[in-house]
């Protein structure tokens, strides 16, 4: 009955349970939809319990997919800012000494060994209005040019703040079926890009500022 309820192969489930009898408990399924969890609870199978868990929801979805990244089932960052700042965002678990009954229920708190510490906030310079406009513009151009991929970064020149950073093809971190490496990679950060001739003005400016060259200097580039 349990295998059917969690849509698992009965033999595989039996093998997993039999090979982990030394554990205090074993996850047989995680992050189930509430209706499915209630159906499992209604079965009344001895030794089978439900544990409430939480997972991150990303309101902007695909618009900030590669930038924000996503977390795994244990809420640890796997890509994007979620991965880069995982130690900063992750809190520290608390620890206390308790007395439990034979069913594992806490009947008395004895001692607080270490208090829990919440994770830190992370504030970005991203302007969501500009982020959305950049996302729409890039998506349209990638489709129009039939390009394999594209990236766009919008920077506030006076401050250097990044106002938008988008990639295509995009992905929605709320949809786990889209978590493919070629989709969630933030190309604007990880990929090399040959700037070509647009970099030449910077070289010329650096040469003039050095004082070794002027606007009449002839440089042999052969």
**CB within 8 A of 17, min separation 6: which ones?**
26, 28
User: What's the CA angle centered on 94, arms 98 and 56, to 5 degrees?
Assistant: 120
**Among 18, 19, 177, 197, the one annotated catalytic:** 197
Please report the sign of the dihedral spanned by the C-alpha atoms of residue 29, residue 30, residue 35, residue 41: positive
Q: Which two tokens stand for residue 94?
A: 């608390």
User: Which residue in this structure is represented by tokens 């990244």?
Assistant: 69
**CB within 8 A of 141, min separation 6: which ones?**
147, 150
Residue 197 falls in the annotated catalytic set: yes
With H, G, I as helix, E, B as strand and everything else as coil, classify residue 155.
strand
Q: Would you say 176 and 190 are in contact if contact means Cβ atoms under 8 Å apart? A: no
Active-site positions read 197
């Amino acid at each position: 009955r349990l295998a059917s309820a969690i849509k698992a192969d009965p033999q595989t489930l039996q093998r997993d349970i039999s090979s982990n009898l030394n554990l205090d408990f074993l996850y047989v399924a995680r992050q189930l939809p509430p209706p499915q969890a209630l159906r499992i609870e209604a079965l009344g199978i001895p030794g089978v319990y439900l544990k409430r868990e939480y997972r991150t929801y990303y309101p902007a979805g695909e618009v900030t997919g590669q930038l924000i990244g996503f977390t795994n089932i244990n809420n640890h960052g796997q890509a994007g800012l979620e991965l880069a700042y995982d130690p900063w965002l992750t809190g520290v678990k608390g620890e206390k000494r308790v007395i439990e009954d034979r069913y594992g229920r806490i009947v008395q708190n004895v001692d607080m060994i270490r208090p829990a510490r919440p994770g830190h906030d992370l504030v970005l310079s991203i302007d969501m209005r500009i982020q959305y406009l950049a996302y729409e513009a890039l998506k349209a151009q990638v489709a129009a040019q039939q390009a394999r991929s594209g990236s766009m970064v919008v920077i506030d020149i006076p401050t250097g703040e990044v106002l938008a950073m988008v990639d295509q093809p995009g992905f929605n971190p709320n949809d786990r079926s889209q978590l493919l490496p070629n989709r969630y990679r933030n190309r604007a950060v990880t990929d090399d890009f040959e700037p070509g001739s647009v970099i030449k003005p910077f070289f010329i400016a650096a040469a003039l500022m050095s004082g070794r060259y002027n606007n009449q200097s002839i440089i042999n580039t052969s």
